[in-house]
Amino acid sequence: MSASVFTILFLIALGLYSAIQIWLSNRHLRHVAAHRSAVPDAFSDQIDLDAHQKAADYTLAKTSLERIEIIIGAVILLAWTLGGGLEWLDSVWSRIDLSTLWIGTGFLLSLFALLSIIDIPMSIYRTFVLEEKFGFNRTTVKTFITDQIKQFFLLIIIGAPLIATVLWLMENMGEFWWLWVWAVWTGFGLLMMWAYPAFIAPLFNKFNPLEEGSLKQRIQDLMTRCGFKSNGIFIIDGSKRSGHGNAYFTGLGQNKRIVFFDTLIESLSTDEIEAVLAHELGHFKRKHIIKRIVSMAIFSLAGLAILGWLMTQDWFYTGLGVSTPSLHAALALFLIALPVFTFFLHPITSWVSRKHEFEADAYAAEVSSAKSLTDALVKLYEENANTLTPDPLYSAFHDSHPPAAVRIAHLAS
């Protein structure tokens, strides 16, 4: 394949990616706006019109911003590739008297840092304009800046050794280097799953053990029935940054934690909290976490094998705006251009995720209460301003959770 042909294929893929995303967003906007005037019959006794319209307006605002982000993202990708951004960054680092390993590490670290910096204006708008407008933002300017600084240092502390290891393996482990990198990457992912709740998450939020009382006893009884052992039950100060509520379990092995947002604890009854936790435990009991780890390992192995072939082809570099082949350039091009060629997988991964949600709901209905979970979900839809009327095609493409009406009907059955 010639470089010019690959450039044309890349532009076609980017055009399709952007056009389909915008088309889906437009469908979503029209569908939500068309159903704004009335609460769906299934929710008419539980959600009032004002809350429904707030959710619709919030969704319309987020989706409108999403369309802008799609266009900006395409422009930024073109700037980094065919526009010469990666070529320029590579030339900057090549002037420094360092080994190729550290030049490559510095190149990739600076690329990721610059991508984060470029996203800051949109992040500011999302946090202090959009979320503020609908009453969800509780992040202060100080917290926002502190979070950015912490993320930067985590990139350096965690990212530098990982990138250097990957580049060293690519350079020294021969034709099948990608098998070694895959093993390291998979091990790193498992390590982060284990370490995140104990060492990284506390850098951003406070985790207070759930106080003794009837709620804690209910939760412990539920975990005993489900055969689930955790390293504690914690309340996270989610209200420090947002009014949205959530619950989840995190970690791996002996480092698993049950985590509730303080906003969720305040809004749900004891029965509803138990049902929400039962749903989260359903993911564990139905082995969804293991299935996701395995599927990600398979996808990453396939991706690295493809990269192993692509990096030997000159057209891969020149077709995307890089004149001098290198290990770090190949890795950078692959990471930033990959979504353009794999977006067609989104409906498949979304379908699998929604299937897991149905299974977790069914498990919660078995060990807790379907009615309590339904009541909790309705409250969360209302308090988080999640639309009850998403466009079906948009939802099928993007949403990891089933639409509200479908999910509630499934629970009722």
pLDDT at 227 over 90: no
Quick check: is 157 in a domain? yes
Tens of pLDDT, residue by residue over 29-47, are 999 999 999 999 888 888 9
Report which of residues 197 and 308 the model is more confident about.
308
Predicted TM-score (pTM) of the model is: 0.90
pLDDT on residue 278: 92
Rounded to an integer, what distance in angstroms lies between the CA atom of residue 375 and that of residue 258?
21
Chain-wide mean pLDDT for the chain? 92
Q: Cβ distance 409 to 365 under 8 Å?
A: no
Report which of residues 247 and 92 the model is more confident about.
92
Tens of pLDDT, residue by residue over 236-271, are 888 888 888 777 777 777 677 788 888 888 888 999
- Mean pLDDT in residue range 90-118: 95
Strand partners, 242: 137
Residues 272, 274, 361, 391: which is the catalytic one? Answer: 361
pLDDT at 26 over 90: yes
Quick check: is 284 in a domain? no
**For a pLDDT cut of 70, what percent of the chain falls above it?**
100
How distant, in Å, are the alpha carbons of 49, 50, 324, 375 from that of 46? Answer: 10, 12, 62, 9
- Structural domains counted in the chain: 1
pLDDT at 215 over 80: yes
Length of the chain: 413
pLDDT on residue 252: 74
- Mean pLDDT in residue range 220-230: 84
pLDDT at 231 over 80: no
Residues 274, 280, 382, 391: which is the catalytic one? Answer: 280
Quick check: is 250 in a domain? no
Residues spanned by the domain of 76: 3-177+290-348
pLDDT on residue 193: 87
Quick check: is 232 in a domain? no
Quick check: is 385 in a domain? no
Tens of pLDDT, residue by residue over 161-204, are 999 999 999 999 988 999 999 999 999 999 988 888 888 888 99
Tens of pLDDT, residue by residue over 128-163, are 999 999 999 999 999 999 999 999 999 999 999 999
363: left (phi over 0), alpha (psi -120 to 50) or beta: alpha
Quick check: is 97 in a domain? yes
Tens of pLDDT, residue by residue over 45-55, are 889 999 999 99
- Establish whether 361 is a catalytic residue: yes
Quick check: is 227 in a domain? no
Tens of pLDDT, residue by residue over 329-387, are 999 999 999 999 999 899 999 999 999 999 999 999 999 989 999 999 999 898 889 99
Angle at 79 between CA 73 and CA 83, to 5 degrees: 155
Angle at 192 between CA 187 and CA 198, to 5 degrees: 140
* Residue appearing with tokens 């398979």: 298
Rounded to an integer, what distance in angstroms lies between the CA atom of residue 380 and that of residue 388?
11
- Establish whether 280 is a catalytic residue: yes
Quick check: is 228 in a domain? no
Q: Which of 55, 28, 58, 22 is nearest to 391 (CA)?
A: 28
Question: CA torsion angle for 298, 301, 306, 309 (degrees, to 10)?
Answer: -150
Rounded to an integer, what distance in angstroms lies between the CA atom of residue 246 and that of residue 6?
44
